[in-house]
Structure formats: structure tokens, C-alpha cells
Amino acid sequence: MNQKLNTMLACSELSFSYDIKKTFNFPSFSCEKGETLLILGNSGTGKTTLLHLLALLLRPKGGSIRINESELATLTAKEASEMRANHLGIIYQKPHFVNSLNVLDNLLLANYLAHQKQSKEQARKLAQNLGISELLDKKTSMLSGGEQQRVSIARALMNNPDVILADEPTSNLDDENCEKVIQLLENQSKNIGAALVIVTHDQRLKDNFKNIITL
């Protein structure tokens, strides 16, 4: 397989430190189009730090991040923000929304903030795929945990990102919902040909994936 054509995300020798005493050094890895990479690690191993590095929310001390062959580690804050909005879909551990807006507007917000056309069709289509069509007019605070997690998946997919990053997407969910959410995540990212990176300590997911990195 021609690796160059299909590699969506590639990281090498990323390192980061919050202070002088402790420096995180991360292993190099890559992830291809439509593939899923599971990064397992216990608390304190820098899972969230790594995800924030990939999400360009933090600037690495060293190493490189490449998405679609472009180097991201050296972007300015503004460029990083644009890159993140348009090419990355992020699902945070605890689903958070703009509380005053309903589900549909929360989805459209992703378009709006990325300076893209607000596409109601896209939102409806995603909602249908994720089984949340009936929830579009509801306030996000009215939803259950599993529903909220699905809405945040839909939001991450609104701008057809190249890479989807999920931070502990299943830690607050029961087994049934956990299974569902992972299925949906995988299917949706395959649909749009994005690379999916899941960072978690949830051992339940170990059996679902073949690409696993342990921190």
C-alpha cells in the first residue's frame, strides 16, 4: 500500500512539558484514512495532553504533527485555530455545549465558527445517522449522557474533518451505550474517510481495535 497517499495523521517524537520537572515524550505513530487508532493509557500518562497536542490546543516542545502532509506543530495560534475548526473534529470527554442553544443550533455553530456555510441538511443527515433526529429542537441539557455524546459526535463531523479526535468518549457510558457510540464513531469516520484517534483508559475498547498504542 502506498503509505504517502493514505496517511492522514503522522506524529513523530512529540514532546511536551508543563514545567521543567516533568516532560512527556510520546511515541511516534501514524493513522491512515478511514482507520482507527486507539491510544490507551492510565491516568497521568499524558493522554489528554497528547490529544490536546494533536488538536493543536497545545504547542509541542519538540517533534512534528502532520495532517495530510502539512506540518502543524509550528502553526501560529490563529492558523492552528483555523486548521482545527476546518480539518479536525474533536469529541471531548464530557460533552459540553452552548447551553442556551438547542441541538440543531449547536451543530450549526460548528459550521459558523469555522466560517463555513451553515448546512441544515448536513446536520439533519448526521442526526439521522446517529439516531438523534428527534432531539434537534431540544435543549442540550435535556438529553441523556449517551444522547449528549452522540450530539457531540455529530458536531465533530459537521465540517467533514480529516481527523477525528476523541477523548475518553465512552468513560461515562454504560456497556450498551459504549458499544453503540464506538460503532457510530467508526462508521461515521469511515463514511467521510477521516482518521479516527481515540484516547482512552477504557479497557473495554481494547478488543474492538487492532491499532493500539499504549502510553
Q: Which chain residues interact with another protein by CB under 8 A? A: 48, 52, 55, 57-58, 78, 81-82, 84-86, 90, 92, 94, 96-101, 105, 108-110, 112-115, 118
Nearer of residues 101 and 192 to another protein, judged by Cβ: 101
Q: In this complex, which beta carbon is closest to another protein, that of residue 2 or of residue 99? A: 99
Smallest separation (angstroms) from another protein to the CB of 6: 27
CB of 183 to another protein, least distance (A): 25
Task: Please state, in angstroms and as integers, the Cα–Cα distance from residue 3 to each residue in 32, 55, 68, 186, following that order.
Answer: 8, 23, 12, 21
Other C-beta atoms closer than 10 Å to the C-beta of 215 total 17
Give the residue with the Cβ less far from another protein, 16 or 35.
16
In the sheet where 163-167 sits, what is the strand order? 88-91, 163-167, 195-200, 36-40, 212-214
How far from the centroid of its chain's Cα atoms is residue 2's Cα? 25
Write down the least CB distance from residue 203 to another protein, Å: 22
Tell the smallest beta-carbon distance from residue 54 to another protein (Å): 12
CB 36 within 8 A of CB 199: no
Supply the Cα-derived Rg of the chain in whole angstroms: 17
Give whichever of 92 and 209 is closer to another protein, judged by the CB atom. 92
